[in-house]
Structure 1
Amino acid sequence: MSFSFFKPSRPKTPQEVSKAIHDSLTALDTQTVAEVKALEKALEEVEKNFGIMRCMLVGDAETEPNMEQVSQLVLEICKEDVLALLVHKLPILGWEARKDLVHCWSVLLKQKVEDTYCCEQYIEDHTELLDFLVVSYDNKEIALNCGAMLRDCIRFPILAKYILESASFVLFFKFVELPNFDVASDAFSTFKDLLTKHGMVVSEFLTAHYDEFFDLYEKLLTSPNYVTRRQSLKLLTDFLLEPPNSHIMKRYILEVRFLKVMMMLLKDSSKNIQIAAFHIFKVFVANPNKPREVKVILAKNHAKLTELLQNLSAGKGDEDDQFEEEKELIIKEIELVTQQPNLGY
């Protein structure tokens, strides 16, 4: 007696997997909300195909991925525009399918085929996908999925550069203050990656867009939201103190309005914010080439500043000792500024 009908079906080739994903995602176009059953069936097909793709890319409990097949799948997915479909159909998909998609997206972007990151190249040629992912922070259903996918893209300098210089970048200043805490936190993680992952790219961007960027950034530093103020101040320290941004820092500490922001933050009700503000404020004061306007502000406020600084303590052992030394030097420097003639304040 033959039991051949119990044999498992032949595993799909990378070409077949790519085509199946393409066709099942494209089929979603023909569904309407009125055809609930048809839509459910189409979504089930997508979910099944994503499962097959995930297994081919990362293996399963029993088998390791075949790297030749992985490379072929990456090529097919780019060739057949499946990457674009993955992004554009994301809002329609169910929770499980989105989870698989985000995992596969990360693996796909990391794959090199003959020394080329094919998916990175594809996205570079279809930058509208990056804009779509950024704008999707406004859709809380898929915001966290899109955030994870964006951060995978930001690993590549050329893609990070595109986002920084795109019209959609300014949306991050809104997204980091969205009322949904999880979405706002995720948006800030992406914002931070954009400003810290690639030093030279960020330096070029800040040089070209200095005024508009710091005008917007000042609003984050003075936000009524404690988390926004604290995170923004910490991030400012992170990217301003990067060696490629030394010229940006030198320009920043010449500006009275930014000195005033730091002085305001020194008075914040949060000790963490006060200490973080001090580490930028001290650069204004220690600058040997302080402009006259900065000297005037320091001299006018020297009594209040001295009192503020004397009451400020890091309270962390050895770190506190260093902090106290820096504080004393800054207080002395402010005192020296007040003694300078011809300030006319």
Structure 2
Amino acid sequence: MSFSFFKPSRPKTPPEVVKSIRDSLIALDTKTVAEVKALEKALEEVEKNFVTMRHMLSGDGEVEPNVEQVSQLTLEICKEDVIGLFIHKLPILGWEARKDLVHCWCVLLKQMAGSTYCCVQYIENHLELLDFLVVCYDNKDVAVNCGKMLRECIKFPTLAKYILESTSFELFFKYVELPNFDVASDAFATFKDLLTKHETAVSEFLTAHYEEFFELYEKLLTSANYVTRRQSLKLLSEFLLEAPNSHIMKRYILEVRYLKVMMTLLKVFVANPNKPCEIIVILAKNHERLLTLLQNLTIGKGADDEQFEEEKDLIIKEIERISRLPNVAC
């Protein structure tokens, strides 16, 4: 009796893994929907390569990742322009491949080469990739995947700053109200990160784009969708109360043209029993102007008129109480 022994295949090196990934992603360009079997085979090849990449980056549950291999793989991915392929091919990948790609993306962005984040630096040099990810919210099949990838990017100040200042940012005011609840919720999570993760960048953005931003934001605060109104109001109070945004907050809460939403906003700032000291000082110093505005503030006759007047009286009384406090100062 004779036995045949098969020598196990040699594990691929990081450059070989990256080459396989790159070739399989590029091969998708040559396959069309008309060639269903060919396309399915190409997608299977991509999925297989992504599994290999995931194991190399995160281990397989039994073997821990090799730090040197992870570093080499990351450098090769940047050098061979594979990051761009990841993003542009995402919409045509299968569910499993997208899931593995998002996992790997989160790992790759954290990898440093020397003193720099290699993949982040690559994206800084190809900022149009961020615009592509934002626009992918229009595709409900990949919107949540792209959202996760975007939020990983937003962790880095330079990338967050670019999105804030790009024309793509305005799309979020539409995306947070999309009819698909999962997509809208994910878009709002990304929108929130953009406005809360980097205080200095946000303050600079709001200062430079005050008019345009708050005109768009007012539409969210007065949206017909209750969830949108509630989330937007909560988010507004979060980023306005950040220390670098104090000048924005002072300007905003005294804007006459936002009287339509002032009552709702004042409930956040005034009726809150745990008001920050700075809010109390602002209300005390500006109590005369605020009281005048409130006393002249009315809404059209309707079912909400009585509740509006009750809330207005409550806020007026609280402002009057604050105005009588001795020596209000932080």
TM-score, length-scaled by structure 1: 0.84
The residue number in structure 1 matching 2:43 is: 43
The residue number in structure 2 matching 1:4 is: 5
**Partner amino acid for 2:195?**
L
The residue number in structure 2 matching 1:252 is: 252
Distance 2:146 2:92 in 1: 13
Distance 2:94 2:265 in 1: 44
Residue deviations 1:14-71 (CA, integer Å, cap 9, x gap) = 0000000000000000001110010000000000000000000000121000000000
Question: Compared with structure 1, are the counterparts of its residues 277 and 44 closer, same or farther at alpha carbon in structure 2 (3 Å cutoff)?
Answer: farther
- Whether the 8 Å CA contact 1:220–1:232 is kept in 2: the answer is yes
The residue number in structure 1 matching 2:328 is: none
1:150 aligns with 2:150: yes
Distance 1:301 1:98 in 2: 52
Q: How does 1:88-107 map to 2 (within 5 A)?
A: 88-107=88-107
- CA apart distance, 1:284: 9.2
Distance 2:287 2:314 in 1: 27
The residue number in structure 2 matching 1:69 is: 69
The residue number in structure 2 matching 1:307 is: 310
Gaps of 5+ in 2: 299-305, 326-330
Distance 2:61 2:135 in 1: 37
Query: Which SS does the other structure have where 1:213 is aligned?
Result: helix
Query: Which SS does the other structure have where 2:109 is aligned?
Result: helix
The residue number in structure 2 matching 1:316 is: none
Distance 1:299 1:334 in 2: 16
- CA apart distance, 1:333: 5.1
Distance 2:85 2:159 in 1: 19
The residue number in structure 2 matching 1:201 is: 201
- Whether the 8 Å CA contact 1:255–1:294 is kept in 2: the answer is no
Aligned length: 313
- CA apart distance, 1:89: 0.2
Q: How does 1:87-126 map to 2 (within 5 A)?
A: 87-126=87-126
- CA apart distance, 1:263: 1.2
- CA apart distance, 1:328: 5.7
Once the two structures are overlaid, the 10-residue window that deviates more, 296-305 or 244-253, is: 296-305
TM-score, length-scaled by structure 2: 0.87
1:81 aligns with 2:89: no
The residue number in structure 2 matching 1:332 is: 321
Query: Which SS does the other structure have where 1:45 is aligned?
Result: helix
The residue number in structure 2 matching 1:190 is: 190
Query: Which SS does the other structure have where 2:113 is aligned?
Result: coil
- CA apart distance, 1:253: 1.9
Query: Which SS does the other structure have where 1:89 is aligned?
Result: helix
- Whether the 8 Å CA contact 2:25–2:46 is kept in 1: the answer is yes
- Whether the 8 Å CA contact 1:133–1:150 is kept in 2: the answer is yes
- CA apart distance, 1:194: 0.2
1:236 aligns with 2:236: yes
Distance 1:332 1:55 in 2: 63
Distance 2:296 2:322 in 1: 14
- CA apart distance, 1:292: 7.3
Q: How does 1:13-52 map to 2 (within 5 A)?
A: 13-52=13-52
- Whether the 8 Å CA contact 2:284–2:323 is kept in 1: the answer is no
Question: Compared with structure 1, are the counterparts of its residues 296 and 127 closer, same or farther at alpha carbon in structure 2 (3 Å cutoff)?
Answer: same
The residue number in structure 1 matching 2:132 is: 132
Question: Compared with structure 1, are the counterparts of its residues 143 and 169 closer, same or farther at alpha carbon in structure 2 (3 Å cutoff)?
Answer: same
Question: Compared with structure 1, are the counterparts of its residues 48 and 276 closer, same or farther at alpha carbon in structure 2 (3 Å cutoff)?
Answer: farther
**Partner amino acid for 1:25?**
L
- CA apart distance, 1:144: 0.2
- Whether the 8 Å CA contact 1:71–1:112 is kept in 2: the answer is yes
Residue deviations 1:323-344 (CA, integer Å, cap 9, x gap) = xxxx9642435899xxxxxxxx
Aligned residues: percent identity? 70
The residue number in structure 2 matching 1:297 is: 293
The residue number in structure 1 matching 2:301 is: none
- CA apart distance, 1:103: 0.3
Residue deviations 1:240-294 (CA, integer Å, cap 9, x gap) = 000011111111122012344131567xxxxxxx6578449x8599534439764
The residue number in structure 1 matching 2:283 is: 287
- Whether the 8 Å CA contact 1:259–1:294 is kept in 2: the answer is no
The residue number in structure 2 matching 1:340 is: none
1:168 aligns with 2:168: yes
**Partner amino acid for 2:161?**
K
